[in-house]
Structure 1
Amino acid sequence: MVMKPRTISMETFKKAFVFLLHTFLLSSLPFALNSVSSKRTEAEALVSYLQNLTYLGLSLNYFIVKIPESLFINLGKLEYLNLTGIGLASNNFSSLILDIFGSMPNLKILELSSFEEKIPSSLGKLRNLQLFRLLIDSPLNSTIPSELGLCTNLTQLILSGSSLTGSLPLSLTNLTKLFGLVVIDSNFCGHILLEEIPFEIGLLTNLTFLNLNGNRFSGYIPQMIGSLQNLFFLDLSVNLLLGQIPPTIENLTELRSIDIFSNHLTVSKLSKGLQVLNLKNNYFYGTIPRIFPEGCELQYLDLYGNQLSGTLPLSLVNCRMLEVIDTGNNSISGSFPFWMKTLPEFRVLILKANRF
């Protein structure tokens, strides 16, 4: 029996090559670097060998010797660089990272963490950058450099870390291609960004995913948020926001999830297409507003831990897709809402610690 040779697609070949290259770098590069201090010629040979790289992933390592500066300076063709979770401080790399980006004009994806310097302003030289993810792990407070607004091809910006302070620079409104903006404190200790949400955030009209969870944003949500016509997911939880969610939120027909628990907010308008509304622990007082129109697509409603009174609004029957209601720990009264049996998808009802 003669076996026919199998062919593979170019896309499969590329994926396999990237995987093998990543594996090679993680297994072979630390060994090569360990000999750099004694054999300069080997280091130069390594740099020469890697100068055509387009993908470099060194994440989750802890190199025991200094990474040669020339390794990064000569990577002019690099499009992807991942340095997350590696011991940069032991390599004296923290200071080097401030200067390398000017030599990487083709970089499209950059992921960094665990260095002990401020965010470098040289990031603004990366004019082709499309995704930037940074975890700040530093004893020094850092601010987002205004030069980041020069990276006008950015589509995803992810920043987190308890030492991040200051405010979102207005230059970020230049990032008109941005569809994902995440600024969070993922360490769950301390807070970041003690400022108001800038009014100009409404200029980022391509945003579909906005997550500012776990910061110290104060003041009011700007009316301009109603200009984010493509917004799909909004998370402003665990901040110091107060007042009312702007009625302009009703204009966001693509919006499916609003998560704003642990603030001081109320709501008066909703878009019909909204599926998830989390208003938990918001010092929300008075009666539950009649904001559930016919055709409402709400599936999950969490009003736990507020100061609500009165009865559950009958307009909730308009939400034919509703599955979960949590109104626990309020002062809601009235008879048991048997009328909810008309909701065909209804699964969970939490009424504990009320006045039924």
Structure 2
Amino acid sequence: KRIFLGENKFTGTIPHALFENRKLTMLSMLENRLNGTIPTQIGKLTELKYLWLGRNQLSGPVPVFNFSTALEKVGIDHNQLTGNLEPILVEGNLPKLDFLRLDTNELSGSIPVSIGEHSKMSLLNLDTNRLSGTVPTELGLLTLLT
């Protein structure tokens, strides 16, 4: 149910075949040299709880995670992701999310007010992006942040 491939020198794209294992609960491929986009087939992983893809060379938009009510921790920091935060922070999405690292990417736009719905969030790191607009007051609803 868990795949740990972090801290190696893997290159190329994330293989689509990984997403055939529908019972997968953890995928860790951080600190490699992976490139390309995060495949949309990630939506097949309905039991995924932990996704670690940080410190690679992944590009493209933040994936849409409306497939999983189980997802708790997401780390896709230190890549070249673009676009805005709406796909991951859409209202009513990811009710168990408590850890989100998207720092050191190329994300733009504003922080959506729906951030306030993620009341279980204990860590939110959006440093070093191209975010703009006003800081939403809804961040004050995240009382578990450490």
The TM-score normalised by the length of structure 1 is: 0.37
Deviations 1:178-198 (A, max 9, x none): x11011226xxxxx2221112
Contact between 2:97 and 2:121, CA under 8 Å: does it hold in 1? yes
| 1:98 corresponding residue in structure 2 | none
Tell me which of 264, 270, 273 is aligned to 2:96. Answer: 273
Which 5+ residue runs of structure 2 have no aligned equivalent? none
1:311 aligned partner, one-letter code: T
Relative to total residues, which structure has the larger helix share, 1 or 2? 1
CA distance, structure 2, for counterparts of residue 193 and residue 229 of structure 1: 25
Contact between 1:184 and 1:213, CA under 8 Å: does it hold in 2? yes
CA-CA distance at 1:314 after TM superposition:
2.7
Alignment of 1:237-256 (within 5 A): 237-247=54-64, 249-256=65-72
CA distance, structure 1, for counterparts of residue 29 and residue 68 of structure 2: 18
Which 5+ residue runs of structure 1 have no aligned equivalent? 1-178, 187-191, 325-356
| 2:138 corresponding residue in structure 1 | 315
Counting matched residue pairs gives 139
Relative to total residues, which structure has the larger strand share, 1 or 2? 2
Deviations 1:310-351 (A, max 9, x none): 2112333443x4314xxxxxxxxxxxxxxxxxxxxxxxxxxx
CA distance, structure 2, for counterparts of residue 206 and residue 195 of structure 1: 24
Alignment of 1:176-215 (within 5 A): 179-185=1-7, 192-215=9-32
CA distance, structure 2, for counterparts of residue 255 and residue 318 of structure 1: 20
3-state SS of paired residue (2:3): strand
In structure 2, relative to structure 1, the CA distance for the partners of 1:230 and 1:238 (3 Å cut) is: same
Deviations 1:82-105 (A, max 9, x none): xxxxxxxxxxxxxxxxxxxxxxxx
Deviations 1:200-219 (A, max 9, x none): 32211111111001111111
CA distance, structure 1, for counterparts of residue 4 and residue 77 of structure 2: 17
Q: Does 1:218 align with 2:35?
A: yes
1:323 aligned partner, one-letter code: L
| 1:285 corresponding residue in structure 2 | 108
Tell me which of 39, 48, 59 is aligned to 1:231. Answer: 48
CA-CA distance at 1:295 after TM superposition:
5.7
Q: Percent identity, aligned pairs only? A: 32
Q: Does 1:262 align with 2:85?
A: no
Quote the RMSD (CA, aligned, Å). 1.9
Contact between 2:4 and 2:27, CA under 8 Å: does it hold in 1? yes
In structure 2, relative to structure 1, the CA distance for the partners of 1:233 and 1:295 (3 Å cut) is: closer
Q: Point out which structure has higher relative CO (alpha carbons under 8 A, 6+ apart).
A: 2
In structure 2, relative to structure 1, the CA distance for the partners of 1:300 and 1:202 (3 Å cut) is: same
Contact between 1:195 and 1:217, CA under 8 Å: does it hold in 2? yes
CA distance, structure 1, for counterparts of residue 144 and residue 126 of structure 2: 14
1:198 aligned partner, one-letter code: P
**Following superposition, which runs of at least 4 residues in structure 1 exceed 6 angstroms of deviation?**
none
1:252 aligned partner, one-letter code: S
CA distance, structure 1, for counterparts of residue 88 and residue 118 of structure 2: 14
Tell me which of 123, 140, 143 is aligned to 1:300. Answer: 123
Contact between 1:272 and 1:293, CA under 8 Å: does it hold in 2? no
Shifted more, 210-219 versus 261-270: the winner is 261-270
CA distance, structure 1, for counterparts of residue 113 and residue 13 of structure 2: 29
In structure 2, relative to structure 1, the CA distance for the partners of 1:303 and 1:294 (3 Å cut) is: closer
* Structure whose alpha-carbon radius of gyration is higher: 1
CA distance, structure 2, for counterparts of residue 206 and residue 314 of structure 1: 38
CA distance, structure 2, for counterparts of residue 193 and residue 322 of structure 1: 36
